[in-house]
């Protein structure tokens, strides 16, 4: 009997696989390709207290082994999200993780409080989006700010909170410890790495926002390293992500110390990526005669 | 209608003009449900090029389960497609987006306008539109393509920027110079052309359907990369943004800001 269940701050997921916020909408579009019941959790696109229009286009560009995005957290706002997206996800036997974004501490708290009475399992606090001028990464690059926003969200949250960290820092463990000190229940990492691409024919930036967040297989080694470092630095469970496109990639993160994993950019080029990762992890455990996925978490030291 | 990712067989590959290629592919599931104005995502074999290339459907053979794409080599990804030969396989996802609402043209005098690489999707659209069709095609120069196919479906007027064939100038110059009249417009082409077509239609109070493009990642409405500005608040996004891949690529001209 193979046990793929994982526990994140008291929430039991049937398996460790979810998708990364922003790559999956609220699940409706990808439900045409994958059975959401097979995922450990669905993580929604970031939602704010009011609708956000996002950045001008072009918002994405391809890079070697990856892509840059500067969507700018376009979202329909919490009111429509609660009415439309949560009821959609409730049809499925999976956990719901809502990614929360804001420009100010008050914005975050408003969304966190609003979700308190909703059938949501975990809240992921986005303090790491590199593509918005206010909020996002501004809260994620200073340990004092990380601790303060974590404490503020935690004190208003009914659900356990996941703090999503930015890799755009000198020492990721400092930020992870700050989140832990602020009362975080879970840590997720990494968000995208700030990058830039220049269109040499047009002699301009490839993205209207000039910079964007780098994601995809190109960033995976950085992400695995950071997950490993954070796993050594804090006692909290970790959701690892950054370039995962196969079960082998996911297992790297788990062996490095992640209790769960998220598939992001791979959804864009393989809409079946999430469930393929679930299946691949199962087959790996079967082949290696492993009974409990927990025995793999952080097994490489 | 279900979107499907499948590995399709390339039936033929042909160069039509400088940098313009035509590929017929056999698809088990996509061709039978596709409609004109829709597109497919095509994947390169180079693992370093992650994102699919969205390419509009030029011809749809439902019974023969075949699709034709006519595309421009715009970079390394499309260059790879252009080197594929009959018998090789290619991964595709589709059908994506909404096609042209052909019923809007029924019983009307329709102007079908295509500019540059916006010409190919107008071919199947022209074939399936019933009634009186006038087709206006704009090219840069004498490197034209699909002319004969269009001539079999209606009256064709051609404009070239350098004046080498047809009217010198753009599609609107052709419409004015040839005094072309119509009641509704179906158009696809570069943004400056669409802007002009939208203005032309508004001045004459004509219905006008435009097919847009933008850089895309997922192609199915999840990533929010390929938005265009909408005139009013969109019911899905709750802001003045519509997703070209999912809500479009065809919009009524008055719905969108170009």
pLDDT exceeds cutoff 80 at A54: yes
- Give me the sign of the Cα torsion angle A49, A55, A56, A57: negative
- Cα dihedral sign for A66, A70, A72, A76? negative
Mean of pLDDT values over B27-54: 95
Q: Give the span between the Cα atoms of A133 and A122, in whole angstroms.
A: 26
Mean pLDDT of chain B: 96
CA–CA dist A268, A30 (Å, integer): 10
Residue B55 has pLDDT above 90, yes or no: yes
C-alpha span between B86 and A83 (Å, rounded) = 50
Q: Which of B30, B121, B109 is nearest to B70 (CA)?
A: B121
Q: What is the pLDDT of residues A113-127, one digit of tens each?
A: 999 999 999 999 999
Beta partners for B134?
B111, B155
What gap in Å lies between CA A224 and CA A222, rounded to an integer? Answer: 6
Instruction: Count CB-CB contacts under 10 A for residue A62.
Output: 22
Q: Answer yes or no: do B237 and A67 touch at CB < 8 A.
A: no
Torsion on CA atoms B11, B13, B16, B20, rounded to nearest 10: 120
CA angle A168, A171, A172 (to 5 degrees): 70
Tell me, yes or no, if A76 comes closer than 8 A to chain B by beta carbon.
yes
**Core vs surface per residue B17-45: b (16+ CB within 10 A) or e:** beebbbbbbbbebbbebbbbbbbbbbbbe
Give the gap in angstroms from C-alpha B239 to the nearest C-alpha of chain A: 6
The whole-chain average pLDDT of chain A stands at 96
> How far apart, in whole angstroms, are the C-alpha atoms of residue A294 and residue A5?
8
* pLDDT computed for residue A138 by the predictor: 78
Asked whether residue B182 carries a pLDDT value surpassing 90, the answer given is: yes
Give contacts of A71 with chain B, Cβ < 8 Å.
Answer: 223-225
Nearest to A176 by CA among A191, A160, A161, A164: A164
Residues of B with a Cβ under 8 Å from any A Cβ are: 2-3, 5, 43, 47-52, 93, 214-218, 220-228, 236-241, 246
Pure H helices in chain A: 78-80, 86-90, 105-114, 143-156, 172-181, 220-233, 247-256, 266-269, 273-287
CA proximity to A81, closest of A40, A52, A38: A52
Q: In what order do the strands lie in the sheet with B133-139?
A: B167-168, B155-160, B133-139, B110-115, B184-188, B207-211, B250-252
Q: Are A88 and A26 in contact (CB under 8 A)?
A: yes
Residue-range domains of chain B with CATH: 4-96 (2.40.30.10), 102-257 (3.40.50.80)
As given in the structure block, the two tokens for residue B246 are 């999912």
Which chain B residues touch A51 with a CB distance below 8 Å?
A: 237-239
What is the rounded CA–CA span in Å between residue B141 and residue A61? 29
CA closest to A23 among chain B residues: B223
**Prediction ipTM score:** 0.93
Q: Which is more confident, A139 or B71?
A: B71
pLDDT tens-digit series, residues B81-121: 999 999 999 999 999 999 999 999 999 999 999 999 999 99
In this predicted structure, what is the pLDDT of residue A128? 87
Tens digits of residue pLDDT in A3-40: 999 999 999 999 999 999 999 999 999 999 999 999 99
Longest alpha-carbon distance in chain B: 51
Report the alpha-carbon angle A168-A172-A176, nearest 5.
Answer: 125
pLDDT at residue number B1? 60
- Given a cut of 90, is residue A151 above it in pLDDT? yes
- pLDDT over 90 (residue B48): yes
Q: What is the pLDDT of residue B2?
A: 86
For residue A293 the two structure tokens come to 């996925």
Nearest CB among B43, B215, B228 relative to A269 is that of B43
- The pLDDT value recorded for residue B136 is 98
Closest alpha carbon to A65 in B6, B246, B46: B46
pLDDT in tens, A233-262: 999 999 999 999 999 999 999 999 999 999
pLDDT of res. B63: 92
Q: Which residues of A, range 16-55, sit inside 8 Å of B by Cβ?
A: 22-25, 29-30, 32-33, 45, 51-54
* Homologous superfamily, domain A6-296: Aldolase class I (3.20.20.70)
Assess whether pLDDT exceeds 90 at residue A136: no
pTM above 0.80, yes or no: yes
Instruction: Write down the pLDDT at residue A289.
Output: 95
- Determine phi and psi for B75, rounding to 5 degrees: -175, -165
Banded pLDDT at A132 (limits 50, 70, 90): confident
Please indicate whether, in this complex, the C-beta atoms of B223 and A69 are within 8 angstroms of each other.
Answer: yes
Are A74 and B237 within 8 A, CB to CB? yes
- pLDDT at res. B35: 97
- Taking an 8 Å cut-off on Cβ atoms, the answer to whether A269 and B216 are in contact is no
Residues of A acting as catalytic residues: 129
Give yes or no for residue B192 having a pLDDT over 90. Answer: yes
Please compute the mean of the pLDDT values over residues B44-61 and round it to a whole number. 96
Q: How far is A140 from chain B (nearest CA, A)?
A: 23
Touching check for A293 and chain B: CB below 8 Å? no
Nearest to B217 among A52, A64, A268 (CB): A268
CB contact under 8 A, B224 and A53: no
pLDDT attached to residue A1:
86
Ordered by start, the domain boundaries in chain A are 6-296
């Amino acid at each position: 009997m193979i046990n793929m269940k994982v526990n994140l701050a008291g929430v039991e997921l049937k398996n460790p696989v979810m998708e990364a916020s922003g790559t999956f909408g609220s699940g409706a579009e990808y439900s045409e390709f994958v059975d959401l019941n097979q995922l450990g959790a669905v993580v929604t696109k970031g939602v704010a207290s009011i609708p956000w229009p996002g950045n001008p286009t072009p918002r994405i560009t391809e890079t070697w082994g990856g892509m840059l995005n500067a969507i700018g957290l376009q979202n329909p706002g919490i009111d429509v999200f609660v009415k439309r997206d949560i009821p959609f996800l409730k049809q499925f036997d999976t956990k719901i993780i809502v990614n929360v974004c804001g420009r100010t501490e008050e914005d975050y708290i408003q969304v966190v409080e609003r979700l308190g009475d909703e059938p949501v399992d975990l809240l992921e606090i986005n303090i790491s989006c590199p593509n918005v001028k206010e909020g996002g990464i501004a809260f994620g690059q200073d340990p004092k700010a990380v601790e303060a926003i974590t404490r503020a969200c935690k004190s208003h949250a009914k659900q356990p909170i996941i703090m999503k960290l930015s890799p755009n820092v000198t020492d990721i463990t400092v930020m992870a410890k700050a989140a832990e000190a602020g009362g975080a229940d879970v840590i997720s990492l990494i968000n995208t790495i700030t990058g830039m691409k220049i269109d040499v024919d047009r002699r301009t930036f490839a993205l209207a926002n000039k910079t964007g967040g780098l994601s995809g297989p190109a960033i995976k080694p950085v992400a695995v390293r950071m997950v490993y470092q954070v796993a050594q630095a804090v006692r909290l469970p970790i959701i690892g992500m950054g370039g995962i496109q196969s079960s082998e990639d996911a297992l790297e993160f788990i062996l490095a110390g992640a209790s769960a994993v998220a598939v992001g950019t791979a959804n864009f080029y393989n809409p079946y990526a999430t469930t393929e990762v679930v299946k691949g992890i199962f087959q790996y455990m079967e082949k290696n005669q492993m009974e409990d996925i927990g025995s793999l978490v952080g097994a490489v030291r | 209608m279900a979107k499907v990712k499948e590995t399709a067989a390339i039936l033929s590959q042909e160069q039509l003009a400088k940098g313009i290629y035509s590929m017929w592919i056999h698809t088990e599931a996509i061709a039978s449900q596709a409609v004109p104005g829709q597109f497919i995502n095509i994947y390169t074999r180079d693992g370093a090029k992650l994102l699919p290339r969205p390419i509009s459907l030029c011809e749809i053979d439902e019974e023969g389960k075949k699709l034709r794409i006519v595309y421009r080599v715009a970079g390394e990804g499309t260059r790879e497609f252009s080197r594929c030969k009959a018998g090789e396989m290619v991964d595709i996802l589709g059908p994506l987006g909404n096609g042209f609402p052909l019923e809007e043209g029924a019983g009307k005098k329709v102007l079908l306008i295509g500019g540059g690489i916006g010409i190919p999707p107008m071919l199947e659209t022209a074939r399936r539109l019933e009634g009186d069709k006038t087709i206006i095609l704009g090219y840069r120069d004498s490197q034209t393509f699909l002319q004969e196919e269009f001539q079999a479906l209606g009256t064709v007027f051609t404009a070239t920027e350098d004046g080498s064939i047809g009217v010198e100038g753009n599609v609107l110059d052709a419409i004015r110079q040839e005094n072309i009249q119509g009641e509704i417009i179906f158009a696809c082409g570069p943004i400056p052309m669409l802007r002009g077509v939208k203005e032309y239609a508004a001045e004459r109070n004509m219905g006008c359907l435009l097919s847009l493009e933008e850089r895309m990642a997922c192609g199915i409405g999840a990533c929010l990369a390929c938005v265009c500005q909408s005139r009013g608040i969109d019911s899905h996004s709750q802001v003045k943004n519509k997703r070209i891949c999912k809500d479009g690529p065809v919009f009524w001209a008055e719905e969108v800001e170009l």
